[in-house]
Chain A
Amino acid sequence: MLDPATTPSAAELVRHEGQKRWTRFLLPTYTIAMIVYLASPILVMILYGFNDVPHERQTPEFWGFTLSWYRQIFGVPGLSDALQNSLLIALIAASVATVIGTFLGLALGRYVFAGKALLLFFIFLAIAVPEIVLGSSLLTLFIQSRFILGLGTILVSHIAFDVPFVAVTVQARVAGMDRSLEDAAYDLYARPTSAFLRVTLPQILPGVFAGFLLAFVLSLDDFVITQFVSGTTQTFPIWVFGATRVGLPPQVNVMGTLLFAIGLAIAIGNVVVRRRSRGLT
């Protein structure tokens, strides 16, 4: 950076100190402040799960600590059903989307075929178009074809918006895959199915797993599309949104906190496993 042959001038030294101030102090402080900002509603959610409110409805004031909402976590019937629906929908939608999306990702990651550009554009479209447009258009489909809104329409809609995300996640993994192992399997006369199951699948599995998790989280969290296609069926976010007008029971905070803890544990586990497997190779 500085030419070693010439001694740095005072101005250059000052400039160098200025640079250090930016990268050693100002930017890291800013980044930490931003992370605190991003985490603040989560911290409030966790804190208010312990809020000793008098009337079983959340208030902006904090009344003192209690564990009673954790003890009565399933004490609000509609809320428990909504959470159960959400978990069930997310599990089924993410599973189906993972199978369909993995096939798509495989095809996109390794083949050139007529219509590939169009398919990529539709996947891109599904990711980029606002949810309200997807939700509205799915609702018009269900109205025109006289589908009854409920669990079924929620499921097919969730699979539809999950598939593109799984596809691109798997595609990224397939593109970075070492194909010589697969070729070796074929050279050793492996049948396509066994070559896929025993050589290809283990290699892309981290991508498939990441795709499943992404789909599960997207599905569990979805509000906009679900609101359009759910009819009277309640999911966790739909129930919470509906309850904001009359006041939220603190159990919402408790459930949110537990879901957050589980999600975080899986994410950290994933990072640790990846780091360890990288260390081994």
Chain B
Amino acid sequence: MEAAPVAHRRSARRGRGLAPYALIAPGAGWLLVFLVIPLLILLYTSLESGGLLFGGFRFTWAFSNYGDAISGNLRYFERSLLYASIVTITCLVLAYPMMYWIAFYGGRWKTSLLLLILLPFFVSFVIRTVQWGFILADQGIILGPLKHLGLLPQDFHVLATPFAVVAGMTYNFLPFTALPLYVSLERIDPTMVEAAKDLYASRWQSFRRVVIPLSLPGVFAAFLLTFVPATGDYVNASVLGGTDTTMVGNIIQDRFLIQNAYNEAAALAAVLMLAMLVLVTIYARVLGTEDVVRSAAG
């Protein structure tokens, strides 16, 4: 990025002014057709009325879909936001000390430790979640022995509770929180911390007044990469949850794939999309896209 103006001059010198457009054409075209246009079609679908069983869907600017979608599913939206908030905060609190230690004291073990933290990515997300189902099962390897010893009542259960869903989500999103934190903590110049100590700051003071403020971009990137997908998650609620843990993602999935109520489903997904778009755009405007992109690039 820094060298870009020079690069531009060089390429201009060689008369390759069209080169970047030739290079981006296939990728930009693909993203246009399969990312941007679908989002617009989602909005279009959300304004249709009718149904598969009522002679098909017609575009009628049916803004009432939104009112219906929100008022009928308010508690699911609220629950998704609540779970996602708890999960995001828990992930940040759990991941920060670990990533701080790896970034500042990992030494030559840094790469290996990071690889260990990314181990979950080598197993399918669905399989990992199902394994948590086994671990937390009523007669599983944790609750089974505890019940056998009489430490827990026989009808005690974890599965199908909000706790199981939040715990499963926390597990699944933790690496997404950890990576951006690491990227920003790793970038902090250790001499800054030394300088604080030279100025008689205690360990805690230099951590609080130097390390934490300098890592804030990573905290925001971690927030974005955890909170946004957590709000739309439905796999944890499906596998680990019960009837009272239904999230908005479950409703969208059900309306689209089971009930074929495309307009209602599209309105729900569009609400989620618009809310996230606002969040993502504010984030990109204020903090730039660099940190999130860098975490994605590993």
**CB interface residues, B 110-127, toward A, < 8 Å:** 111-113, 115-127
Please determine whether B252 and A132 come into contact, CB atoms closer than 8 angstroms. Answer: yes
Per the bound structure, the CA–CA distance linking A159 and B30 in Å amounts to 8
CA–CA, A210 and B111, complex, Å:
15
Is A189 part of the contact surface with B, judged by Cβ < 8 Å? no
User: Taking the nearest CB of chain B, how far is it from the CB of A241, in angstroms?
Assistant: 5
A window 144-184: CB within 8 A of B: 144, 156-157, 159-160, 163-165, 167-169, 171-172, 175, 179, 183
- Sample of 5 further A-B pairs with CB below 8 A, known A112-B8, A137-B41: A27-B105, A61-B139, A175-B3, A186-B14, A228-B257
B120 interface neighbour in A38, A167, A240, Cβ under 8 Å: A38
Complex CA–CA separation, A113 to B20 (angstroms):
7
Q: A38 and B38 in contact (CB under 8 A), knowing A112-B7, A244-B130?
A: no
B66 within 8 A of A: no
Point out the residue from B20, B45, B111 that lies within 8 Å of A111, measured CB to CB. Answer: B20
Are A132 and B249 also in contact (CB < 8 A) when A34-B98, A45-B123 are? yes
Whether B35 contacts A139 by the Cβ 8 Å rule is: no
Q: Which residue of A lies closest to B5 (CB)?
A: A112
Give every chain B residue within 8 A of A23 (Cβ-Cβ).
101, 104-105
Inter-chain contacts of A141 with B (CB < 8 A): 34, 37-38, 41
Contact (A122, B36) CB under 8 Å given A45-B127, A132-B272, A136-B269? yes
Is there a chain B Cβ closer than 8 Å to A39's Cβ? yes
Contact: A44 with B98, CB < 8 Å? Answer: no
Residues of B within 8 A of A202 (CB): none
> A15–B203 contact, CB under 8 A?
yes
B197 on the A face (CB < 8 A): yes
Are B280 and A48 in touch, CB under 8 angstroms?
no
- Docked-complex contact B234 and A220, CB < 8 angstroms: no
Q: Which residues of A contact B283 (CB under 8 A)?
A: 128
Q: Does A248 contact B (CB under 8 A)?
A: yes
B76 CB–A CB distance under 8 Å: no
Residues of B within 8 A of A (CB-CB), count: 111
Tell whether A210 pairs with B122 under 8 Å between CB atoms, given A31-B102, A103-B26, A144-B45.
no
Contact partner of A120 among B234, B238, B289, CB < 8 A?
Answer: B289
Provided the pairs A38-B174, A42-B120 are in contact, do residues A15 and B202 lie with their beta carbons within 8 angstroms?
Answer: yes
* Interface: A107 (CB within 8 A): yes
B49 within 8 A of A: no
CB contacts (< 8 Å) of B44 on chain A: these are 140, 144
Listed by A's residue number, 26 A-B pairs whose Cβ atoms lie within 8 Å are A23-B105, A31-B113, A41-B135, A42-B120, A42-B128, A44-B131, A103-B24, A104-B27, A107-B19, A107-B24, A122-B35, A123-B31, A129-B276, A130-B232, A133-B232, A160-B30, A168-B297, A179-B10, A223-B124, A224-B234, A227-B257, A228-B256, A228-B257, A241-B126, A252-B127, A271-B112
Residue of B nearest to A166 (CB): B27
Which B residues contact A (CB, under 8 angstroms)? 1, 3-5, 7-8, 10-11, 14, 16, 19-21, 23-24, 26-28, 30-31, 34-39, 41-42, 44-45, 94-95, 97-98, 100-102, 104-105, 111-113, 115-135, 137-141, 144, 171, 174-175, 194, 197-198, 202-203, 224-225, 228-229, 231-235, 238-239, 249, 252-253, 256-257, 262, 265-266, 269, 272-273, 276-277, 280, 283-284, 289, 292-294, 296-298
* A58 CB to nearest B CB, Å: 7
Report A-chain residues with C-beta under 8 Å of the C-beta of B124: 220-221, 223, 236-237, 240, 256, 259
A62 touches B232 (CB 8 A): no
Q: Is the CB of A127 within 8 A of B98?
A: no
Question: Which residue from B23, B95, B123, B225 sits with its C-beta under 8 Å from A41?
Answer: B123
Complex CA distance for A110 and B265, rounded to whole angstroms? 42
How would you classify the secondary structure of chain B's contact residues: helix, strand, loop or mixed?
helix
Interchain CB contact under 8 A, B139 and A183: no
- How far, in angstroms, from A5 to B112 measured CA to CA in the complex? 40
Bound CA span A267–B117, Å: 13
Report the minimum CB–CB distance from A231 to chain B (whole Å).
10
Whether B26 and A100, one on each chain, are in contact in the complex, defined by CB atoms closer than 8 angstroms, is yes
Q: Within the assembled complex, what's the spacing in Å between the Cα atoms of A192 and B215?
A: 42
- A130-B229 in contact (CB<8A): yes
Q: How far is the CA of A104 from the CA of B31 in the complex (A)?
A: 11
* Given A122-B31, A123-B293, A168-B296, A221 contacting B125 (CB threshold 8 A): yes
